[in-house]
Amino acid sequence: MSDLKNQRVVVTGGAGFLGQAVCRQLDKLAVKDVFVPRSSEFDLTRADHVARLFDHAKPDVVIHLAAEVGGIGANRLHPGRFFYANLAMGLHLIEQARQSHLKKFVQIGTVCSYPKFCPPPFQESALWDGYPEETNAPYGVAKRALGVMLDAYHREYNLDSLMLIPVNLFGPGDNFDLQTSHVIPAMIRKFCEACDKGLDEVTCWGSGLVSREFLFVEDAAQAIVQASDQVSVTEPINLGTGREIQIADLAAMIAKICGFTGRIIWDASQPDGQPRRQLDTSRAKNLFGWQAKTSLEDGLAQTVSWWQKQLAACPPAVSAK
């Protein structure tokens, strides 16, 4: 038990999409001593910067959310960078945690670490049953390796740690840049802009036949903070809803919420990614009683509403393709 209220907590990536939600949950828990390192001051891919961070912040607990990641397109463009940056950040932070006798290190993993053809619902024990889907394998393997490092450091150095694996996240404040965004914000932007411009069709990547599971960002943040406060295990823990949806059905749902009534065209020349994603979340429920609270429909409505307000405040200069 970490008793986070009385700990000095460093949240890497705390200014990002998930990080801001985690910081809000820490505030709800009345955690007063929280430090968010900024990339302009601390380059976490450099060991000397990480050492300086620990010397400056003197953390008791590190919640490591910082990552370089994006959708399928970004993973195809930057496989080397995504592998290096994510592995280097975790590597230096975990080693410095050992040297500094940190009380707890919380690593956020990725559903991309699971094998490409992992049978759903994915169980944590299946992480090493095959190679990840090729387009995001460098990112997924880097995160896998950090889980192995944490287990090894626990066994040899008694470093208390936690590995949490959230499924695809979404919600207000997500990344809506079409070059780097994930599927939900990309679709929301395309459908909203199509409505604004009076377009009668929208093109989406892939076949639409693959399936995904999505977790509202505030639910994920609540799980991360609760687990950080209450759980100490070396085994990875899935975070999700357990609800799987086909991408074509997701697109229809988002189009309806956005008010788009035109035609959806599927560009099958673009990759689909992993065939299916659905997590077994029983370990999280059994260990600390956590279950997601926000339905996909409610979460999408909140996210669309947020994006429409952004559009109203600052109309986009470039139309969706």
Whether 251 and 263 map to the same domain: the answer is yes
Instruction: State residue 184's pLDDT score.
Output: 97
| Same-domain pairing of 148 and 206 | no
Report the pLDDT averaged over residues 168-173.
97
Residue 289 lies in a domain: no
Q: In this structure, is residue 284 part of a structural domain?
A: no
Q: Do both 107 and 235 map to the same domain?
A: yes
The whole-number pLDDT of residue 314 equals 72
- Say if 282 falls within a structural domain: no
Annotated catalytic residue within 84, 114, 131, 139: 139
CATH number of the domain bearing residue 61: 3.40.50.720
My answer on whether 157 and 232 are in the same domain is yes
Residue 175 lies in a domain: no
Whole-number percent of the chain with pLDDT over 70:
97
Rounded to 5°, angle at Cα 167 from 36 and 13: 10
- Same structural domain for residues 31 and 159? yes
Given a cut of 80, whether residue 316 has pLDDT beyond it is: no
pTM of the full predicted structure? Answer: 0.94
DSSP-derived 3-state class of residue 153: helix
Q: Are residues 74 and 22 in the same domain?
A: yes
Which of 62, 60, 304, 319 is CA-nearest to residue 194? 319
161 and 38, same structural domain? yes
User: Do 73 and 11 fall into the same domain?
Assistant: yes
pLDDT in tens, 247-265: 999 999 999 999 999 999 9
Give the chain's domain count.
Answer: 2
Task: Clarify whether residues 23 and 164 are in a common domain.
Answer: yes
Let me know whether 8 and 30 are in one domain: yes
φ, ψ of residue 231 to 5 degrees: the values are -120, 140
Query: What are the backbone angles phi and psi of residue 292, rounded to the nearest 5°?
Result: -65, 145
Select from 25, 60, 24, 19 the least CA-distant residue to 37: 19
> What is the domain extent for residue 11?
4-170+214-239
**129 and 195 both lie in a single domain:** no
Q: Do the domain assignments include residue 286?
A: no
Per-residue pLDDT reduced to its tens digit, 139-155: 999 999 999 999 999 99
Per-residue model confidence as pLDDT tens digits over 266-287: 999 998 989 999 999 999 999 9
* Residues 47-105 pLDDT 10s: 999 999 999 999 999 999 999 988 788 888 999 999 999 999 999 999 999 999 999 99
Residue 194: give its domain's CATH number.
Answer: 3.90.25.10
Confidence of residue 321 (pLDDT cuts 50, 70, 90): very low
Residue 12 within any structural domain of the chain: yes
* 39 within some domain: yes
Active-site residue 139, yes or no? yes
- Domain contains 287: no
106 shares a domain with 94: yes
